[in-house]
Structure 1
Amino acid sequence: MNARRPFPLALLLVPLLLAGCAAAPDRPETLRQALLNLGERAASRVIGAPALPQPPADLVLLLAAPEVNGELGIGQERFRESLTRALLAVSDGPQVLDWTESMGTGGGANQWRLESRLMADGPRLRLSDRELLPYRLTLVLRRPDGESVMWEESLQGALDASAL
């Protein structure tokens, strides 16, 4: 007699498990991507600032602790990490260091202090399927030992609240 071998049940479950993993929402990844995109926009603007000497590989950017509005649901460190990663990802880009008050004197000619402020820029916008959080990101370049603004730019946009 010809005996039939049972079909392994595990082979039927593999496609279902893979489909479930692919369809599962990944909120931390969505937030990470939203912050990376914001960081990349900011890095692009900073690197292209006319106040900075070129090439950017010769620069040292000293990142001041960012000011982040709590209404956005993004922590200061998460935003700082995103901006730092984006600046470091620039091809032949600058060195990036965290700035502290003790670095205020004796900075070299190639050092620039980058300040950033991420603020809510209006009320939440309610759409049919989500809420958007308008923001304004202000970027300021100064010399490490000075208070005068050498360059300033603001970026506006909106973050998807469901990603936060």
Structure 2
Amino acid sequence: MNARRLSPLALLLPMLLIGCAAAPDRPETLRQALLNLGERAANRVMEAPALPRPPGDQVLLLANPEVNGELGVSQERFRESLTRALLAVNDGPQVLDWTESMGTGGGANQWRLESRLMADGPRLRLSDRELLPYRLTLVLRRPDSEPVIWEESLQGALDASAL
């Protein structure tokens, strides 16, 4: 009998609260943008002809990424996205953080992955948003050696409203 006395506003309030809870916020948008970038990078690394097959037998040692502050992306967030994407690869390599102490005595199955995320031009202003062009450079080296074994660059643009 109490259900008949509920006002339409009382029925509408729970629906509004559910809608607000489901609305994406800016951190989720940023996270998704970085996850997508990490996935693109991971796919390129897995395609690198320098990596022996199968990749599951390899160990990628991730160096601290270099990230341009103009993009509004922290080094930690980008590194997390790249690490997650590499770990998500089916039958992919093991992924460890690289430190200077790992520079000597690396096994034949170890590869140092360096990454550099840089602004690649001025902001692009569209009618509804701004885009931040970027260039992501990925480099594979042996842990105890400086020569580049493989290098790839990805270009794109991040939505500034997500940052």
Q: TM-score range by the shorter chain?
A: over 0.9
Deviation of 1:18 after TM superposition, in Å, equals: 2.0
Runs of 4+, deviation exceeding 6 Å: none
Q: Name the counterpart of 2:21.
A: 21
Amino acid at match of 1:79: F
Aligned to 2:6, the other structure's residue is in SS state coil
1:109-154, CA deviations, whole angstroms, 9 ceiling, x for partnerless residues?
A: 0000000000000000011111000000000000000000000000
CA shift, 1:4, in A, is: 9.4
Which letter does structure 1 place at the counterpart of 2:67?
V
Matches of 2:99 and 2:4 in 1, distance apart?
A: 70
Q: 2: distance between equivalents of 1:4 and 1:57?
A: 60
> What is the letter of the counterpart of residue 152 of structure 2?
E
Partner of 2:30: 31
Alignment CA distance shift 1:78-1:5 (3 Å): closer
Quote the residue 1:128 is aligned against: 127
- Overall identity of the aligned pairs, in %: 85
Instruction: Note the residue ranges of structure 2 that are not aligned, 5 or more in a row.
Output: none
Partners of 1:50 and 1:4 in 2: CA distance: 67
- Matching of residue 109 in structure 1 with residue 108 in structure 2: yes
Matched, 1:66 2:65: yes
Which string of whole-angstrom CA distances, capped at 9 and with x for unpartnered residues, describes residues 48-68 of structure 1? 100000111000000000000
Q: What SS class does the counterpart of residue 133 from structure 1 fall into?
A: strand
Equivalent residue letter for 1:20: C
1:83 counterpart letter in structure 2: L
Amino acid corresponding to residue 34 of structure 2 in structure 1: L
What is the distance in 1 between the residues matched to 2:105 and 2:4?
79
- When the two structures are aligned, how many residues end up with a matched partner? 162
The higher radius of gyration belongs to 1
Match of 2:55 in 1: 56
Q: 1:14 to 1:108 in 2, by over 3 A?
A: same
Q: Find the aligned partners of 1:4 and 1:11 in 2 and give their Cα distance.
A: 10
1:10-34 Cα distance to aligned partner (Å, 9 max, x none): 4332122223333x44100000000
Partner of 1:12 in structure 2? Answer: 12
Residue 67 of structure 1 aligns with an amino acid whose one-letter code is: E
Distance, in Å, in 1 between the alignment partners of 2:67 and 2:104 is 26
- Map of 2:84 onto structure 1: 85
TM-score in terms of structure 2 length:
0.94
Distance 1:145 1:96 in 2: 17
| Structure 1 unaligned regions, length at least 5 | none
Cα distance change on mapping 1:144 and 1:10 into 2, 3 Å: same
CA distance in 2: counterparts of 1:115 and 1:99, whole angstroms: 9
* Aligned counterparts of 1:153 and 1:101: Cα–Cα separation in 2: 23
TM-score by length of structure 1 reads 0.93
| Partner amino acid, structure 2, of 1:15 | M
